[in-house]
Structure 1
Amino acid sequence: MASSFVPAQVARLPWTLIFVVLAIGLFGGMCLFSAAGGSMRPWALLHFVRFFALLGLAVAMSYVRPETYRDFAWPAYGVVILLLIVTLVVGTIGGGAKSWLELGVIRIQPSELMKPVSVLLLAGFYGSLPPGEIRRFGAIWPPIAILAVPVGLIIMQPDLGTTLLLLFAAITVMFLAGLPLWYFIGGGLLVAAAIPIAYNLIMLPHQQKRVLIFLSPEEDPLGAGYHITQSKIAIGSGGIFGKGFLNGTQSHLHYLPEQHTDFIFPAMAEEWGLAGGLFLIGCFVVLFRWGMKVAEGAKGRFARLTAAGLTMTIFFYFAINLLMVVGLAPVVGIPLPLFSYGGSAMLTVMICLGILMSIDRDTRRNRRA
């Protein structure tokens, strides 16, 4: 009976995903409202405007067929590369990296856009590769060439967090495509051997300090270890049910740095406690489970690899941010997706969700046919 009142195009939307995304975004807006001392400005109002506008974009993207995204991946790659080059020349510095580009009324981080684009390119490459070629060298060097240019440009900014997310998502697609395991073992050994070189020759002093403080934050609790120390205090002081909405002291008294972006989870945990943290984590688990189900049911290798790669892209945002705020990973400037304040990261995640919904819609369309 309900279907007679609800248009088919609306009824066929993935409402489980949409409700979960709404829960995350609205909860994030409430925390930003509290972090500003009970004010919609400067963070909550813009967060809500961006969130609903980009959610509408994601829903609109779901009506585009997955093949269209595959066909436009290379032009998008070229545009983002151009934006990265322009950013190195005339970009603005934020968080110690020259990674922001001012475009009139908007301010974007082009490196963020490379994450879904790289997943689409790699999924398209492996989707068209004959199965017999997957264990040959021709299956590894084109993806390395595709990634080398953007990774090099992002490292020059330098933005370690975005570089890691880009590489993790790419490695996920390559692993799921069926590349031999020894490629990943050998690559891991090479990375381990390159860490001392990267630390001494590539990392800036503030990035080196982040790594050292990650290993021993108590050595400088009022200096380089301040972020992690205050983050742990905020999370621990929340207890089971928190201090209550608008009652956080670490955030309101400005002890907690970057409380609206990278360290919004501790600000939330102080007011909502373990219960709020588990609710938020549960929402993300539902989101990831939905994404992997889309990958499992997708028709064709390209769609499966794309869905899995985009889901894991969002997962790496989530996992690295949580590991970072509890002191289990260095502070690398990764926001909590859909929850933190920030337009570029939210745009990237919504693009991922829009393509995922497109693949889901295409799968259900094929089943009905």
Structure 2
Amino acid sequence: MKMNSDSGLIQALKRYDFTFFGICFAIFLVGVVNLYSATHASQSAHMANLYKTQIGWYAMSLIVGLIVSFIQPKTYFRYSWLIYGLNVFLLVLVLFLGHKGMGARRWILLGPIRLQPSELMKLSVILLLGRWFTKYHPEKESGIKELIPPFILAFVPALLIILEPDLGTGLLVILIFFSIAFFRKLKWKSILIIGLIGILSGGVMYKFGLKEYQRKRILTFINPGADAKGSGYNAIQSKIAIGSGKFLGKGFRKSSQASLNYLPENHTDFVFSIFNEEHGFFGSLFLISLYLILFYRFIWLATSVTKVYDAIVVVGIMSIFFWHTFINMGMVTGLMPIVGLPLPLMSYGGSSLMTFGVCCGVATSISNSRNLF
């Protein structure tokens, strides 16, 4: 009996796909070393010990991710509506009872833990969109009419997140929807209409939907020097940090932007700037290569599974990692407006680490189930 159980465990370990957790661990390792370098010179004991807190959060996210990886994908399909509904309820709760910090209500306090429902909402939307596109029109190209119901499912939580306000995460939920919609085949006419609607709605949102500081971010992106000591300060200092790194960088713990505190939020939104300053162009190529390997692994899995639902969920999870990486690197290099999205597994933050850990767990679960048949 014992031999059979041992044999079953060995077979399960042989089937287990360690690659997602392995690649993510490599990126996290680079990130926590960079976080230590960015905060070690801080006079605040709290800031100087952030890397220790980050390690603790990662350990928790890894445990949760490993647990999730043993849940069968059909379970996500079955309970996707329940997971989605619970997260929407939490988002509504945040608007009325959420903890306020830095001018926004984004967290629910659970004792010493701060839960950020908007982070969990990203995956919740993916699980439900996967179910929707699997049950309705799974094989034929989608037109505008077919996209309206799933768009509403994504737009409702996105709107609640934007009201917190958290424009970056809200727009990210919409980008996740479009990533999945394009993967599920769109008619060219639909693509053109979506592009036109996007341009028009962008203009309307800029005029009537954005707050003054959000409009300033866009104007700062166009001309950072117009308010160099105000709204354009972060963007200018970020580009100074990246440029001063040149090809090989200044070296570990030698970032002047971090040690002299010229660049605010260097442990969250602007970690890539500090990494560039210390490790230069070649160091950045190494980090970007790790992300590209992760993206390639997601693409490989999405094309290897036989179930439509599994493929959609994998593409959705990849879009979370991709858009976070693309937008964060774009904004710190001055190619995009600053919207406050963390760099996956590099930026400090417990809620984001937990989200990425759960995403790895779900992707691993789908990969493991692929090997069962």
TM-score category of the 2 structures, normalised to the smaller one: over 0.9
Matched, 1:143 2:154: no
- In structure 2, give the amino acid aligned to 1:279: F
Structure 2 counterpart of 1:92, from 94, 99, 108 = 99
Counterpart Cα distance in 2 of 1:77 and 1:16: 28
**Which residue matches 2:340?**
333
**Which residue matches 1:122?**
129
**Which residue matches 1:196?**
203
**Which residue matches 1:309?**
316
Deviations 1:173-202 (A, max 9, x none): 111112323223212211211223211221
- In structure 1, give the amino acid aligned to 2:253: L
**Which residue matches 1:227?**
234
Matched, 1:10 2:13: yes
Matched, 1:63 2:70: yes
Answer whether contact 2:80 2:128 (CA < 8 A) is retained.
yes
Gapped regions of structure 1 (runs ≥ 5): none
Q: CA deviation at 1:354?
A: 1.0
Query: Percent identity over the alignment?
Result: 36
**Which residue matches 2:4?**
none
Answer whether contact 1:133 1:139 (CA < 8 A) is retained.
no
In the TM superposition, 1:146-157 aligns within 5 A as 146-157=153-164
Q: CA deviation at 1:136?
A: 5.6
Counterpart Cα distance in 1 of 2:138 and 2:38: 52
Q: CA deviation at 1:268?
A: 1.1
Which stretch shows the higher mean deviation, 305-314 or 187-196? 187-196
**Which residue matches 2:225?**
218
Counterpart Cα distance in 2 of 1:237 and 1:135: 48
**Which residue matches 2:361?**
354
- In structure 1, give the amino acid aligned to 2:290: C
| Secondary structure at 2:263 match in 1 | coil
Q: CA deviation at 1:133?
A: 6.3
Answer whether contact 2:40 2:48 (CA < 8 A) is retained.
no
TM-score by length of 2: 0.92
Matched, 1:245 2:248: no
- In structure 1, give the amino acid aligned to 2:112: V
Q: CA deviation at 1:280?
A: 0.8
- In structure 2, give the amino acid aligned to 1:250: Q
**Which residue matches 1:44?**
51
Counterpart Cα distance in 2 of 1:58 and 1:239: 37
Answer whether contact 2:238 2:333 (CA < 8 A) is retained.
yes
CA pair 14-41 structure 1, distance change in 2 beyond 3 A:
farther
Which stretch shows the higher mean deviation, 179-188 or 248-257? 179-188
- In structure 1, give the amino acid aligned to 2:313: T
Q: CA deviation at 1:251?
A: 0.5
**Which residue matches 1:34?**
37
Deviations 1:288-328 (A, max 9, x none): 10011110001111111111111111110110000010011
Counterpart Cα distance in 1 of 2:155 and 2:193: 18
Structure 2 counterpart of 1:164, from 167, 171, 182 = 171
**Which residue matches 1:112?**
119
| Secondary structure at 1:98 match in 2 | strand
In the TM superposition, 1:262-281 aligns within 5 A as 262-281=269-288
Q: RMSD of the alignment, in Å?
A: 2.0
Structure 2 counterpart of 1:78, from 81, 85, 105 = 85
- In structure 2, give the amino acid aligned to 1:256: L
CA pair 237-177 structure 1, distance change in 2 beyond 3 A:
same
Counterpart Cα distance in 1 of 2:361 and 2:80: 15
Answer whether contact 2:87 2:121 (CA < 8 A) is retained.
yes
**Which residue matches 2:306?**
299
Q: CA deviation at 1:150?
A: 0.9
Answer whether contact 2:61 2:357 (CA < 8 A) is retained.
yes
| Secondary structure at 1:140 match in 2 | helix
Q: How many residues are aligned here?
A: 363
